[in-house]
Amino acid sequence: MNTDIIETAAKLEITGEHEHWTEIIQPKTKLLDLRLGELWRYRDLVMMFVRRDFVTNYKQTILGPVWFFLQPLLTSFTYILIFGRVAKLSTDGLPMMVFYLAGITIWNYFSETLTKTATVFKDNAQMFGKVYFPRLTMPFSIVISNLVRFCIQLGLFLIIWIYYLLQTDSIHPTIYILLIPVLVIVMGLLALGFGMIISAMTTKYKDLIFLLTFGIQLLMFATPVIYPLSSIPGKYKAIILANPITPIVETFRYGFLGSGTFSWSYLAYSLVTTIVILLLGTIVFNRVEKSFTDTV
């Protein structure tokens, strides 16, 4: 067999023939290398993963995609009952329904993206061990699939927002509503960065998976989703502002509702933090990707 290989190689060398490979698999040498060009070549695979996410989530459910609308509505009604009626938390004079739904809409995009990205190694360990494809396609497809879900829920929010806009005088949209695409991109990248870090850590420390759900719920209470930032006492406000998601949620509400805390410096802080977390997540993800099949 070795003789046949040598003879074949000699013939190729004599005739000047060369093999042209469409794909060369080699180890990454740079921890910050995202291989975006390779990701673009596998864009069909990314879209296949996006479709898979939708099918697997709602394939065996009775209501199917209707849950896109029911989940934020039921959550909003629960918050109105518990935090609005019972706890009597402030909503800055805004109708409770539109106030809570605004926070839930933007928060759901972050929490869903983070949850699924954080378990991407564990959930796809068998696939990763059998066939090669850019590993970043998995978390990136999660960002896109949840973006589609966010757009659907944003449509629901806009319907309710328009209703209250016409029925009450407490809602005053501002020009900062134009920042919504930027806020969504920053939120998605922040969730992607955090998710890649946690996903890499869960390959060795599987206990983090059990703490993930609790941690996200705790983070929600540290984010002004069910309360406005203006209701927080001064000595605790700095702690809430240390959360990079806080300026995003507050700006989202300020753009649509005209009530909330807006500051360019706060947004800059969220953007810088997102870049740092994304770079750190890229480094950790690329480092663990080389050997994660031995530990998962």
- List the Cα angle 235/238/243 in 5-degree steps: 140
Question: Residue 195's closest CA among 129, 127, 262, 139?
Answer: 139
For residues 281 and 192, the answer to whether their CB atoms sit within 8 Å is yes
In a domain, 21, yes or no: no
pLDDT at 210 (0 to 100): 79
Could you tell me which residues come within 8 angstroms of residue 49 by beta carbon, excluding any fewer than 6 positions away?
A: 137, 138, 141, 142, 145
Range of the domain at 183: 34-294
Q: Locate 20 and state its tokens.
A: 């042209």
Question: Residue 188's closest CA among 242, 144, 224?
Answer: 144
For the cut 50, the answer to whether the pLDDT of residue 285 exceeds it is: yes
Averaged pLDDT for residues 215-230 = 92
Q: Count the alpha carbons within 13 Å of 244 in the hemisphere toward its beta carbon.
A: 21
In a domain, 29, yes or no: no
What are 6-33's pLDDT values in tens digits?
Answer: 344 444 444 444 455 555 555 554 555 5
In a domain, 14, yes or no: no
Question: Residue 277's closest CA among 198, 207, 216, 218?
Answer: 198
Q: Could you give the CA distance from residue 102 to residue 224 in angstroms, rounded to a whole number?
A: 11
In a domain, 9, yes or no: no
Q: Locate 87 and state its tokens.
A: 């706890």
Predicted structure pTM score: 0.82
In a domain, 27, yes or no: no
In a domain, 17, yes or no: no
The structural domain count of the chain equals 1
pLDDT at 58 (0 to 100): 65
In a domain, 1, yes or no: no
Least confident of 2-16, 251-265, 266-280: 2-16
pLDDT at 153 (0 to 100): 92
Q: Could you give the CA distance from residue 68 to residue 61 in angstroms, rounded to a whole number?
A: 12
In a domain, 25, yes or no: no
DSSP designation for 183:
H
pLDDT at 28 (0 to 100): 52
What are 63-116's pLDDT values in tens digits?
Answer: 666 777 888 999 999 999 999 999 889 898 899 999 999 999 999 999 999 988
pLDDT at 176 (0 to 100): 95
What are 34-71's pLDDT values in tens digits?
Answer: 566 677 777 787 788 888 777 776 666 666 667 778 88
For the cut 70, the answer to whether the pLDDT of residue 2 exceeds it is: no
pLDDT bucket at 205, cuts 50 / 70 / 90: confident
For the cut 50, the answer to whether the pLDDT of residue 167 exceeds it is: yes
